[in-house]
Amino acid sequence: MLAYVLRRLATMIPVMFIAITVCFFILRLAPGGPFDGERPLPPTILQNLAAHYHLDKPLIEQYLIYLGNVLTGDLGPSFIQEDFSVAEQIAIGLPYTFVIGGLAFFTAIIVGVAAGVLGALYQNKWPDYLTAAIILIGLILPNFLIAPILQLIFGVELGWLPVGGWGGGSWKYLVLPIAVLAWVHAARISRLMRGSMIEVLNANFIRTAKAKGLGERLIISRHAIKPALMPVVSYLGPAASYLLTGSLVVEQIFGLPGIGRFFINAALARDYGMVLGTVIFYMVLIIFLNLLVDIAYAFLDPKVRTR
Amino acid sequence: MEPLLKLQDYTIRFATPDGDVHAVTGLDLDLAPGEKLAIVGESGSGKSQCWMGVMGLLARNARVSGRAMFGDRNLLGLTQRQLDAVRGAEICMVFQDPMTALNPVLRISRQLTETLEVHRGAGRREAEKQAIAMLERVGIPDAPRRFRQYPHEMSGGMRQRVVIAMALLTKPRLLIADEPTTALDVTIQAQILDLFQDLVTETGTSLVMISHDLGAVAGIADRVAVMYAGRIVEDSPVDDLYERPAHPYARALLQSIPRVDRATADIRPIDGRPPSLADLPRGCSFAPRCGYRTDACDAAVPPLADIEPGRIAACFHPVHRHTAADSKGSRT
Amino acid sequence: MILYSARRAALMDDAARAAPKGRSLAADARRRLMQNKAAVFSLFLLGLVIILALAGPWFISHDYETPDWGALRSMPSFGNGHYFGTDQNGRDMLARTLYGTRVSLLVALIATLVSVCIGVLYGAVAGYVGGRVDQAMMRLVDIMYALPYILFVILLMVIFGRNVFLLFAAIGAIEWLTMARIVRGQTIALKEREFVEAARASGQTTFGIILRHIIPNLTGPVVIYAALTVPEIIVTESFLSYLGFGVQEPLTSLGTLISEGADVMEVMPWLLGFPALFLVSLLLSLMFIGDGLRDAFDPKDR
């Protein structure tokens, strides 16, 4: 098991390396260089930049220095904020993004798996059709369309929930962002789960379990759900990535002070340093989450674990 | 003696978009306690479906009628819960393909002990003790270590031994084995069959061994029921059937298998194909392929009738009085 | 990308299996597609949206950027000729919505073409050449799958400026991964076939064989998969435009319109409603057509 984790970790390192390299050179390839844009930068920031990127040195050396900085967690200075480095800004936004993203992630898994199992057990009966309809909404409506619709219904018309803001993290403020963020993933997970559950329920080993007289509840909970979860788990890696992109929109729409909002604002203000630093942070995060998913998969599939 | 299992007018149909498929038609069969019965037939003869039905394992579109009396309970009329109290406890089943019969994500230990926990209310430790003992009994070396493994870490023969151990753990009164050796290597097949014979004799369990191979079941069974197109065509003690088969189909089946005491030239494949189960002939299902066919065979289904004490066959022209070398055979 | 990738990945095998093998099969598939009510309805809906978007602007008296100072913030009305109402600047919403639909369709067309070209070439080369080249190429695809590439698009937009054609190309350039996988699988199957052997024996170059013998035989799965890619691209474009990185004023797209509409949905819901209706119609019909095509070519039910 440990060997498996280490092996996965070893394959992640070149990915991370390539990602950082690509980002660095994209920035340096920017027309006219990144630092003499159309807007003159304040002198303090120019000093920060020159000191951080060692602009007087050759490109290769700059790259190596940058690589070293990233590895030690230094994501460089912002081009606009004089007082905060990129890493500091990310640290400020991270808790909000983590709470929303993490809760949405688990909501999507729980709702998606439950809906998928329900759909498989009541194939072509009303619970199946009901979940299919809800899934369809999630698949058709992009999150930037679901969000205003839910705001309009639950915030404006019914007045049950606030339409935005953090509100000190009170659950009322979290419901809508999490619902918007989780919906599409719950929809996809339930589709995957329904399909694989139907397949598993027709498998020979389920027939064996029935022949053993285990009873439907035990068969479903012990014999069917675990193998049926495998395609769902392999979707969780990409899901983490999409959740992150989704959080860009959701934080913007609901006015949440997370990294996604910093990122969008920095990108709109053309703060190269902040954009690059955030992208690199995101990628490291995604790669790490993918590693976690691989480990979770190994727990489900003994063939992976014992190989 | 009161039979252990009594099938009466037992019929299985599958409703399909193209009409009903008659997998088993009006079957009557008794099984005595401790008896070892072989069910033999080609694929599509209904031999597997018949016993899947007894276990309540048929596909959703199956319609079962008649009665399957197990003691004083009709297995076909039980609720799901009542049926679950019977299967796995009093009737167990061993399936054809050991590679897929075990759950790939659960340890062998979990899959073995759960039947004891569910049916016998055993505690985990007690269940594990019994399960390991059973693994040793079915000939798995290093049983305590194997017990902790996953199915994919074992060979096919080993897995089939696990499946057999699983079926015998609760000491059932009836064991149904559905072609338990078909998916295995030839060398392993003989071992598994020997194992069945030993275990069944030892525990006094009744055995139903489903097979397409008359030769394979010869050593195990007391009695052989030959099925053709969803019906039993002959039901005889094993020696009688092998020496003097009564139904032309049973005879043709015997002649189609290689035997050490006969020249290969004498092997005769059966011409023609079994009838479509969606469209059975009005008379005897085997008539179109039979060398003894007469007009009577096409007019009505021959009833199962006593032909000798302890033997029944469904044929207007039973052939058990002919000698084996009879020139007519099954060929025309 | 945002909406459909997982489903797409799940369907990938299906689509790969769905390789049509001849004309008669295509006819058979067409018959099956026509029997699929949702797909037929979607074809009509898509046709309607496309005709409206292409021909509609000629028949309405307003254009998408000229303000009507007499009708600022007008509700949808037959009286003043603004059937979908007007926005804060008095611009006709019907004209803007149709124009936005045009832009979204154009993005979909160009980006799908880009993604098909890259994906088919990449997959065919990897599958045909095989061995280490194949392994290295597919490893790269695996790596790119794991990355949130929409961030790269944003990065590109920030650094190279917001250029519509760069946007098209960038979206297309990130949507080819699954296509490459499907094409590779098909190519591996194709390269063992007799006509490819024959071409090899007659001394054609590797590139020539890929171009003349492999790619023409990939039409079926490529078409099916491209149909499944189109709605993703439309969503990606809308997503970027919504965030302000896509199509810019005075040009407009459905995403841009929805973004503007969402800000004022409480007072002027028609600014959100009509573009949303068009976007949803497009996505819904494209999704059902894609599913219908896949089912029509899928040999599983046959």
- Residue ranges of domains in chain C: 44-62+93-301
The average confidence (pLDDT) of chain B is: 85
C158 or C118, greater pLDDT: C118
What's residue B132's pLDDT? 92
Test C159 with A30 for CB contact under 8 angstroms: yes
Q: Got the DSSP string for B219-235?
A: TT-SEEEEEETTEEEEE
Q: What is the value of ipTM here, to two decimals? A: 0.85
B141 or A38, greater pLDDT: B141
Measured distance CA(A290)–CA(A278) in Å, rounded: 18
Whether A241 contacts chain C with CB within 8 A: yes
pLDDT at A60 over 90: no
Whether B324 contacts chain A with CB within 8 A: no
Whether C270 contacts chain A with CB within 8 A: no
Give the pLDDT band (50/70/90) at residue A39: low
Domains of chain A: 86-306 (1.10.3720.10)
Kindly list the residues from chain A whose CB atom is less than 8 angstroms away from the CB atom of residue B173. Answer: none
Give the pLDDT band (50/70/90) at residue B190: confident
pLDDT at A54 over 70: no
Whether A207 contacts chain B with CB within 8 A: yes
* Candidate from A26, A142, A191 with C-beta closest to C2: A142
How far from B82 is each of A215, B27, B53, B115, CA to CA, in Å?
10, 24, 15, 15
Whether B90 contacts chain A with CB within 8 A: no
Measured distance CA(A142)–CA(A160) in Å, rounded: 23
Q: What is the pLDDT of residues C67-115, one digit of tens each?
A: 766 666 666 766 666 667 777 676 777 788 888 888 888 888 888 888 8
Kindly list the residues from chain B whose CB atom is less than 8 angstroms away from the CB atom of residue A207. Answer: 57, 95, 101
Radius of gyration of chain B (CA): 21
Measured distance CA(A213)–CA(B88) in Å, rounded: 5
Q: What is the pLDDT of residues B259-305, one digit of tens each?
A: 666 666 667 777 777 888 888 888 888 888 888 888 888 888 888 88
Task: Tell me which residues of chain A, numbers 36 to 95, contact chain C at a CB-CB cutoff of 8 Å.
Answer: none
Top-level class of domain C44-62+93-301 = mainly alpha
Measured distance CA(B241)–CA(B11) in Å, rounded: 25
Measured distance CA(B71)–CA(B65) in Å, rounded: 18
Q: What is the pLDDT of residues A245-302, one digit of tens each?
A: 888 888 888 888 888 888 888 888 777 778 888 888 888 888 888 888 888 888 888 8
What is the share, in percent, of chain A residues with pLDDT greater than 70? 88
Lowest mean pLDDT, pick from A75-84, B197-206, C247-256? A75-84
Measured distance CA(A80)–CA(B258) in Å, rounded: 89
pLDDT at C297 over 60: yes
Phi/psi at B178 (5° precision): -95, 100
Test A208 with B119 for CB contact under 8 angstroms: no
